[in-house]
Amino acid sequence: MYETAHACDVLVIGGGPAGLAAASHAARCGRRVIIVDDNPRWGGQIWRRGSGEDESPQATSLFDEVRRAGVKFIGGAHVFNQLQDGSLLAEAADGVHRFSYEKLILATGARERFLPFPGWTLPNVMGAGGLQALVKSGLSIRRRRVVVAGSGPLLLAVAAHLRKRGAEVLLIAEQAPRARVLRFGLRLIEWPEKLLHLMRLQRYLFNVPYLTGCWPVMAHGRRKLERVTLKRGARLWEVACDYLACGFHLVPNAELAQLLGCETVDGAVWVDELQRTSRPEIYCAGEATGVGGVELALIEGQIAGCAAAGREDEARRLFAARQRARRFASALNAAFDLREELRELATEETIVCRCEDVRLGQLREFDSWRAAKLQTRCGMGPCQGRVCGAALEFLFGWRVTSIRPPLFPVQLRNLAYDPSSEAERVERG
């Protein structure tokens, strides 16, 4: 087994907007900084580079800053466990990497929330962001008929992207009621950059119906998706399509923080005004602290970077900007809050946990996530509740407790990383 040890002042987990901003700020304050990300390249969910086409000027200048600041980037490394306080383990293609740090900044982002409905496990029913990622990495979507459904502005971004790549986007179904979406749209004047972004997207969405108060109730097909039934008000109708790209807003990736013993509130990592978690040497920035969009991620990252580098004064100068971005975040989350009716989509027979084939009806007799898990195996598979957990939280109000290593499936040889043998190796080297 090949093992590599790294040491730095500030370690950043996640190379999305928050992590990049944090890293460049900490490095500019003279700290040795490393960013670790499980993807081969930095950029996170939004600026994930592959084709280069999505590179906004904002992204390009941040990438340059990070490079200039002398930040070291370790891609393709998945943090899966803590060795001890001050040291994390990651799995990469060449074995285990160990990272020791003085300060840690978690910028692990968010993931999509899936809600179970009859047929959601059919092939070609996908996460909206998931389909976007597949297309970015080469899946051809030309002339394919796509229904984009769920909630949140992500649907627009995904639809625009798919259309650019030649997809026939039939419609966008947004569950939030029209009044809420409109009110949110009007408020966008407060954040002109968001309005601009929306207008840019709309260029690509010309002629695509955006149906508010509309959601999928069932996906049909024999071997794979053929049709989807949509509901809007009293009306139910079927739409024939090749893909259903579905995402019901986002949920924070708080598992690493939880593993390290940081407090969470409502599923998001708790932070103080300096982006410090309940563990004093650990900071958190971006969507892991709550879903709020890219501007908030950037500004939180900057604050965390300064604070972790000991430059509280600089961090404080950014508080006003963060306040403004947070107002947007709460407007966003209020507008796209999930409606009650979505709780009724899954029937007793609908599979909730895909890893272990657990159906909704099996869960009813239990009163907590852990009790249900122990008795039904729900959430016991390779994803460890990362997918079904957010759905069950919405359906039953259960929270996934007891986060255990490894955070992601890892090879046993890497899980068997032996700290004592490595110490010997380092001494000899």
Partner 1 sequence: MSVPTYDVVIVGAGIVGAACAAECAAEGLRVLVVEAEMVGGGATAAGMGHIVVMDDSEAQFELTLYSQRLWEELAEELPPSVEYDRCGTIWVAATEDEMRQAERKGKFYAERGVAVELLDARELREAEPRLRRDLWGGLRVPGDGVIYPPAAAHFLLSKARAHRTELIVGRAVIEATLGGEVRLQDGSNISSGIVINCAGSSSPKLTPQIKVQKRKGHLVITDRYAGFVRHQLVELGYLESAHAASSDSVAFNVQPRRTGQLLIGSSRQYGAEDARVDQGVLARMLNRAFAFMPGLADLSAIRVWTGFRAATPDNLPLIGPYAEGARLYLATGHEGLGITTSLGTAKLIVAQIMGRTPPISSEPFLPIRFMQESAHV
Ligand X SMILES: Cc1cc2nc3c(=O)[nH]c(=O)nc-3n(C[C@H](O)[C@H](O)[C@H](O)COP(=O)(O)OP(=O)(O)OC[C@H]3O[C@@H](n4cnc5c(N)ncnc54)[C@H](O)[C@@H]3O)c2cc1C
Q: Please, what is the minimum distance in Å from the beta carbon of residue 374 to partner 1?
A: 4
Alpha-carbon distance 352 to 217, whole Å? 15
Tokens of 322: 């963060």
Give the number of other CB atoms < 10 A from CB of residue 334. Answer: 12
Nearer to partner 1 among residue 347 and residue 421 (C-beta): 421
Query: Residue 212 pairs with which residues in a beta bridge?
Result: 174
Query: What is the maximum alpha-carbon separation in the chain?
Result: 74
Strands 358-359 and 351-353: antiparallel
Torsion of CA 388, 341, 237, 129, to 10 degrees: -40
Q: Which stretch binds ligand X (CB under 6 A): 10-18, 302-310, 319-327, 340-348?
A: 10-18
Tokens of 377: 């195996």
Contact assessment for residue 219 and residue 225, using Cβ atoms and an 8 Å cutoff: yes
118 binds, among partner 1, ligand X, none (CB under 5 to 8 A by kind): none
Q: Is the peptide bond before 406 cis (omega within 30 degrees of 0)?
A: yes
Strands 264-265 and 110-112: unpaired
375 binds, among partner 1, ligand X, none (CB under 5 to 8 A by kind): partner 1
420 binds, among partner 1, ligand X, none (CB under 5 to 8 A by kind): partner 1
Give the number of other CB atoms < 10 A from CB of residue 415. Answer: 15
Q: Please, what is the minimum distance in Å from the beta carbon of residue 158 to partner 1?
A: 29
Can residue 363 be called a binding residue for ligand X (CB under 6 A)?
no
Start-to-end CA span in the chain (Å) = 16
Can residue 112 be called a binding residue for ligand X (CB under 6 A)?
yes
What's the length of the chain? 429
- Where does 182-292 show beta strands of DSSP type E? 210-212, 214-220, 227-232, 235-240, 243-248, 250-252, 264-265, 268-269, 282-284
# residues contacting partner 1 (CB under 8 A): 30
Among 26, 33, 79, 141, binds ligand X (CB under 6 A): 79
Nearer to partner 1 among residue 22 and residue 358 (C-beta): 358
User: Taking CB under 6 A as the rule, which mask of x and - marks residues 378-417 in contact with ligand X?
Assistant: -----------------------------x----------
84 binds, among ligand X, partner 1, none (CB under 5 to 8 A by kind): partner 1
Nearer to partner 1 among residue 7 and residue 321 (C-beta): 7
Q: Does residue 404 sit in helix, strand or coil?
A: coil
Q: Which residues, 6+ apart, have CB-to-CB distance to 386 below 8 Å?
A: 111, 255
Pick out residues in 17-36 that bind ligand X (CB under 6 A): 17-19, 36
Can residue 14 be called a binding residue for ligand X (CB under 6 A)?
yes
Q: Please, what is the minimum distance in Å from the beta carbon of residue 9 to partner 1?
A: 23
User: Taking CB under 6 A as the rule, which mask of x and - marks residues 149-168 in contact with ligand X?
Assistant: -----x--x-----------
18 binds, among partner 1, ligand X, none (CB under 5 to 8 A by kind): ligand X
Can residue 174 be called a binding residue for ligand X (CB under 6 A)?
no
Strands 95-100 and 87-92: antiparallel
Say which amino acid occupies 108: T
Can residue 141 be called a binding residue for ligand X (CB under 6 A)?
no
Alpha-carbon distance 209 to 206, whole Å? 9
Tokens of 360: 């909704």
Pick out residues in 390-419 that bind partner 1 (CB under 8 A): 404-406, 409-413, 415-419
Q: Please, what is the minimum distance in Å from the beta carbon of residue 422 to partner 1?
A: 10
Q: Which residues bind ligand X (CB under 6 A)?
A: 13-19, 36-39, 44-46, 78-79, 107-112, 129, 154, 157, 250, 253, 256, 286-287, 293-294, 297, 407
Q: Which residues bind partner 1 (CB under 8 A)?
A: 81, 83-84, 89, 368, 370-371, 374-377, 380-382, 384, 404-406, 409-413, 415-421
